[in-house]
Amino acid sequence: MTVLRLRDWSLRLSPRGLAVGAAITALGVALSLVALSTGEFTVPVPDIVAALFGDGPPAAELIVSRLRAPRVVTGLLVGAAFGLSGAIFQSLTRNPLGSPDFIGFTAGASTGGIAAVILGGSAWQISGASLAGCVACALLVYALAFRRGVQGYRLILVGIGVNALLVSADWYMLTRANINDAATAGSWITGSLSGRGWDHAIPVAVALAVLLPLCAWLSRPLRMMEMGDDAAKAVGIHVEPVRAAAIAVGVLLCGVATAAAGPVIFVAMAAPQLARRLARSPGVTLTASALTGAVLLVGADLAAQRVFAPIQLPVGIMTAAIGGTYLVFLLRRERR
């Protein structure tokens, strides 16, 4: 561990963590280039670079700048948001199952989105309802789990119960909707990057620009709280305000990501754990989790497009397959 000191500030740098972060970033760049260049129309890498700067052939600019680049950028941003959200909640609960997928927040976003679809809402109204559903679910879970503070296991157990109720509500709405609305809602809740444009990527980018500094500010107290509330209080951490702020940031990250791409499951659970094992970190690392989430989602979307070509699967199906396999491995490891 290397400590970099700048006047009143100090920054701890892990050589292995830096190497892992650089490797994940390089993998993300490589996957993005593959996603931009391959498909029904192959675009050479020089033409991709020229098209991104507005100086490429007309066909390359159309395919890259208007069709493929928004999808790739949205995938990177949404994956990073899910990875950060999962890292925050796993740090708070000190449990790998403490992710938005299990504690109901993704289900709350799904319920809001399905209700908006059935009511005939526009794309923006569906996104807004998804975000509102995520926030409302978080408030409900926090209120039910609060008893002289919020403990990790209580938050997970209450979240699992609320998640089950919301999934039941989703299926009820789908059975009562007409066939066209049910088909649209069923497609949305699978999670997909198909048809995503810059109007989807820009809101996520703005949200990350606002929330990333808050994540950086929360990283140190969250690391202290992983040792237990008593230990955190002993070093001057105000546990409950920090926990409430962390939950708010994690919920907003999850809600914004779900509003852009639908409830893509398992990225928030798997990304922080993979990043932790790669970096051999004693706790969850926010930066590595964000990078891993971005790479996971873009890689899964690329596989969903190319593996079963000409059929293109929603990315949510691919992440479910990857995440389900990892969950089995995780449960087997924990049993040992």
Residue 295's pLDDT band (boundaries 50, 70, 90)? very high
184 or 152, which is more confident? 184
Phi, psi for residue 57 in degrees, rounded to 5:
-60, 150
Tell me the mean pLDDT in the region 23-32. 93
Please give the residue that has the higher pLDDT: either 63 or 325. Answer: 63
127-148 pLDDT tens trace: 889 989 999 998 998 888 887 7
Residue 1 has a pLDDT of: 53
Taking the complete model, does pTM exceed 0.85, yes or no? yes
At residue 5, does pLDDT exceed 60? no
Predicted local confidence at residue 336, as pLDDT: 55
Q: Which residue has the higher pLDDT, 333 or 50?
A: 50
Residue with tokens 């209580």: 154
If you average pLDDT over residues 83-90, what whole number do you get?
A: 93
**How confident is the model at residue 10, as a pLDDT?**
53
How many residues in total does the chain contain? 336
| Helices 179-190 and 152-176, packing angle to 10 deg | 150
Q: For residue range 28-51, list pLDDT tens digits in order.
A: 999 999 999 988 888 888 888 888
How many whole angstroms separate alpha carbon 145 and alpha carbon 39?
48
pLDDT at 152 over 80: no
Q: Mean pLDDT, the chain, as a whole number?
A: 85
Q: What is the mean pLDDT of residues 146-172?
A: 84
| pLDDT value of position 80 | 96
User: 275 or 54: which carries more pLDDT confidence?
Assistant: 275
Distances (CA, A) of 182 to 111, 116, 185, 220: 13, 12, 5, 45
Catalogue all structural domains in the chain, each as residue range(s) with its CATH number: 75-335 (1.10.3470.10)
The amino acid at 149: G
Cis peptide before 314 (omega within 30 of 0): no
Question: CA-CA distance, 202 to 190, in Å (whole number)?
Answer: 22
* Mean pLDDT value of segment 89-105: 85
> pLDDT: is 276 or 78 the higher one?
78
